[in-house]
Structure 1
Amino acid sequence: MKDSESIDLAAMLCSRLCHDMLSPVGALSNGLELLAMETDPEMRKSVIELLEQSSKTSTNKLKFFRLAFGAAGGFGDRVDVEEPKALIDALVADKDKIEVNWAIETANLAKPAVKVLLNFAQIAIDALVRGGSLDIGAEVRGKNCEIVVRATGTKIGFDESIGKALDGSLPSSELSSRTAAAHMIALLAEQAGGGLQYARTDETLVLGAVLPEAEGLIG
């Protein structure tokens, strides 16, 4: 990847992060303004509860993006699976119409695999516009790590440009903040010597990855 393309990708990932953070941070700002003006004890209590919820949502999103986009996860090459599981569970905690089912057959994953897992989960959550089930699995077989994330619901909202970013067919000129994360993990998989794939119907979206368990590889 050229330096200019790397800068563009970083900028688009930042735009995606800012877009997702705008709502909870904006709610914090509005809540503080209301708290400054409100004198009724019951109303102040309600505002404080909203502030606490917005603060929790903001923190959860920042933790998620720090590991999904950044270099979090400790100083080693691998990450305990409980960390991405907790981040994804927190991401859907306020989405009562989405049920998460886990099938991870390993105690830890390489950092590139964790980034793919988290970004797959984000794509699948966004696709469940009317709720549904989110099945997340990962297994190390021999020298490869296999990851599958399946979203099942009454309606799947999936932008085909994200699919093109995943399979590498999206022209760089069409890259946007919406497709940047998919493009990032496609590059990550390619550099690791693995690959991504996806399939969708009106009610199902399946995202899959096979990544070599290369020793010492850090995403």
Structure 2
Amino acid sequence: MTLSDFSAQPSAPELAIADLPAGGAELAAFIAGKLCHDFISPAGAIMSGLDLLEDPTAQDMRDDAMSLIRQSARKMVAHVHFARVAFGAATTSEQFASVDLRGLVGGLYEGGRATLDWRIGDGATFTKPQARILINLAWMTLGALPTGGVATITARQDGERLQLIGSAEGARARLKPEALTGLKGERLTEGLAGQWIQPYWLWLAVNEAGGRLDIAADEGRVGLIAQTPL
């Protein structure tokens, strides 16, 4: 996919920190809310499984309870590993291998309706800012396929710039209005903040890396193209 494949919508121009739609404590609050939302579902499912194990009248459901606990624990761990790179400082490592980043995204979306087609060689490596951009972009691409489809993730060098491209193709491929607002680096004025913060975080990560984020859309297809200096 290239920008010429779609009718592209450019992102907002680069802004000074003081002019950002959300920053500082407000941005931290939005991200904390997003993480709490992501963690509460598997955590609640684990508690439900434990309650079943402790219920003397539900001993016939012990196997189901253990299965629920195992699945939910894996989902919780996947969310934590993803969030450490996507939102946090992750490890002290300054380079991330493509195969590891693919695992972070794939583990988070295990059992989802869309299929992840990761077309970046396992030997490719990315800096911490690039890795943060890449996995947020990949997650947003998968999220654009609520009823299923294929999310293709590619990366290529174009001169002195790195292009990270997510292409979502499916019958109902789309981005919610809140997501479009965030991806353009604009402040949310209506809608759900939980649908806005990760797209905005992706735009902010690209902006702080000295790059630009473009959105492309056509019937049955959505494209996200992040371009950053090498």
TM-score tier, shorter chain, comes to: 0.7 to 0.9
- The partner residue of 2:187 within 142, 149, 171 is 171
**Alignment identity in percent?**
29
User: Equivalents in 2 of 1:172, 1:37: separation in Å?
Assistant: 45
1:133 matches 2:150: yes
Deviations 1:47-71 (A, max 9, x none): 1011100100111011111110001
Q: Matches of 1:107 and 1:5 in 2, distance apart?
A: 32
1:102-148 Cα deviation digits (max 9, x unpaired): 21156101211211111112222222111111101112344221100
3-state DSSP of counterpart to 1:179:
helix
Match of 1:98 among 114, 118, 127: 114
2:195 matches 1:211: no
Aligned length: 210
Tell me which residue corresponds to 1:20: 38
Equivalent residue runs for 1:58-73 within 5 Å:
58-72=76-90
The answer to whether the Cα contact below 8 Å between 2:117 and 2:153 also exists between their aligned partners in 1 is yes
Residue 154 (structure 1) aligns with: 171
| Correspondence 1:50 to 2:89 | no
Question: Normalising by the residue count of structure 1, what TM-score does the alignment of the two structures yield?
Answer: 0.86
Q: Which residue of 2 aligns with 1:192?
A: 209
Compare relative contact order (CA 8 Å, sep 6+) and give the higher one, 1 or 2.
Answer: 2
Secondary structure at the counterpart of residue 178 of structure 1: helix
Tell whether 2:29 aligns with 1:11: yes
Q: Look up the SS of the partner of 1:197 in the other structure.
A: strand
Question: Does structure 1 retain, via aligned residues, the 8 Å contact 2:114–2:148?
Answer: yes
Between the aligned partners of 2:53 and 2:218, the Cα distance in structure 1 is 47
Shift of 1:41: 5.5
The one-letter code sitting in structure 2 at the alignment partner of 1:98 is A
Query: Which 5+ residue runs of structure 2 have no aligned equivalent?
Result: 1-16
Tell me the secondary structure at the aligned position of residue 155 of structure 2.
strand
In 2: Cα distance, 1:54 partner to 1:13 partner: 22
CA distance in 1, matches of 2:61, 2:52: 9
Segments ≥4 residues shifted beyond 4 Å:
38-42, 172-175
* Conservation of the 8 A alpha-carbon contact between 2:150 and 2:170: yes
CA–CA distance in structure 2, aligned partners of residues 184 and 193 of structure 1: 14
TM-score by length of 2: 0.83
SS in 2 for 1:148: strand
